[in-house]
Amino acid sequence: MNHPYALRTPHRTPLTSRRSLLLSATALALLGCPTQAAEPLPVTVSFSILGDLVRVVGASRIVVTTLVGPEQDAHGFEPRPADAKALLASKLLVVNGLGFEPWSGRLVKSAGYKGETVVAASGVKARQTPKANHGHAHAETDPHAWQNPDNVALYVRNIATGLSKVDPAGASSYQANADAYVKELQALDAWAKAQFAALPQAKRKAITSHDAFGYLAAHYGLTFLAPQGVNTDTEPSARQVGQLIRQIQREKIRAVFVENMANPKLLAQLSQDAGVTPGASLYADALSSADKPGATYLQMMRHNVTQLVAGMQRN
């Protein structure tokens, strides 16, 4: 039996055990206080519709700068020094392609941007539209591929691939977001097909300011007529306008629409001369502001389809 006052040798913890205890304590300390989140990835996007798609795929891992915002026309956009500065600070540039942003190359060069670029429409089967120039007809690429939800599914997959390249740690998140959004696009497409299917084929015609709905027309079996071509910066001749007026009267077309970012004067004059009343605005090349019905791509498409069906019923 030990003497009650005998000196006791202190228990010594083996070195390996002490290291394990130290590591465990450190781990607990780290769990007890939040770790600092990584800075969101800066991404520059050419126009508002793409901006919405990029935000959906990137979610909280990115911060988006949109060069051509809601209600603005990307066709005639002129980049400013602030745009070059924003691009230079970005890790990724996302553009539509198909000739939609002829100014993007100049912006990249002037900014000295060396980062990655995603062409969202890469892989899309582009439509070619006839265009008269000095009396000679030639083909012009239609850049409005987002008017077909099937193409937008390709857009978001291209965006997910581009984001994953500059941020490999987020690859699974980007892929999951893209997959979930593709399901929403498929639901949108099924709904739109049902809406147009309820109309007799003879009624599926509409007049719009410029030729922005060719992909929508081809996908859903519609006919669109427009005084302007695929670009809003072209003006039709008096002869072309006269031909369109006669066609409207001959075919009794009542579905007439102005796009949200177009100059309404031309179509208003055409409607007056043809004796028809324009319907609600459609969203073609730009989203609406947040307080209007085209603030996201999905909302924009549902609004457009609803208005088109209502207008075509009057034909």
Domain ranges of the chain: 41-120+146-183, 191-312
Q: How many CB atoms lie within 10 A of CB 134?
A: 5
Q: Are 44 and 262 in contact (CB under 8 A)?
A: no
User: Which mean pLDDT values do the consecutive 10-residue runs of the chain (315 residues) have?
Assistant: 41 46 42 55 98 98 97 90 97 97 96 97 93 58 96 98 98 98 98 97 88 94 74 64 80 81 66 81 93 96 97 93
Looking at residue 260, what is its pLDDT?
65
Q: Which amino acid is at 48?
A: S
Looking at residue 261, what is its pLDDT?
54
Nearest to 255 by CA among 233, 222, 294: 222
Burial of 308 (0-12, 13-18, 19+ CB in 10 A): buried
Q: Are 264 and 291 in contact (CB under 8 A)?
A: no
- Give me the architecture of the 191-312 domain, per CATH: 3-Layer(aba) Sandwich (3.40)
Q: Is 238 left (phi over 0), alpha (psi -120 to 50) or beta?
A: alpha
Token pair for 315: 């034909």
Looking at residue 179, what is its pLDDT?
98
Q: Which amino acid is at 226?
A: A
Q: Which amino acid is at 84?
A: A
3-state secondary structure of 294: coil
| Euclidean distance between CA atoms 59 and 57, whole angstroms | 6
Nearest to 227 by CA among 265, 196, 201: 265
Looking at residue 280, what is its pLDDT?
82
| Euclidean distance between CA atoms 284 and 177, whole angstroms | 25
| Euclidean distance between CA atoms 106 and 99, whole angstroms | 13
Give the distance, in angstroms, between the CA of residue 60 and the centroid of all CA atoms in the same chain. Answer: 17
Q: Are 115 and 91 in contact (CB under 8 A)?
A: yes
Phi, psi of 163 (to 5 degrees): -65, -40
Nearest to 53 by CA among 151, 170, 171, 123: 151
Strands lying side by side in the sheet with 205-208: 223-225, 205-208, 256-257
| Euclidean distance between CA atoms 174 and 208, whole angstroms | 36
CATH, domain range 41-120+146-183: 3.40.50.1980
Q: DSSP letter for 121, please.
A: T
CA distances from 36 to 30, 33, 117 (A): 11, 9, 29
Q: Which residue has the tokens 């699974």?
A: 172
Gyration radius of the chain's alpha carbons: 28
Q: Which amino acid is at 81?
A: P
Nearest to 309 by CA among 216, 229, 192: 192
Matching fold, domains 41-120+146-183 and 191-312: yes
Q: Which long-range contacts (C-beta less than 8 Å, at least 24 apart) are formed by 22-25?
A: none
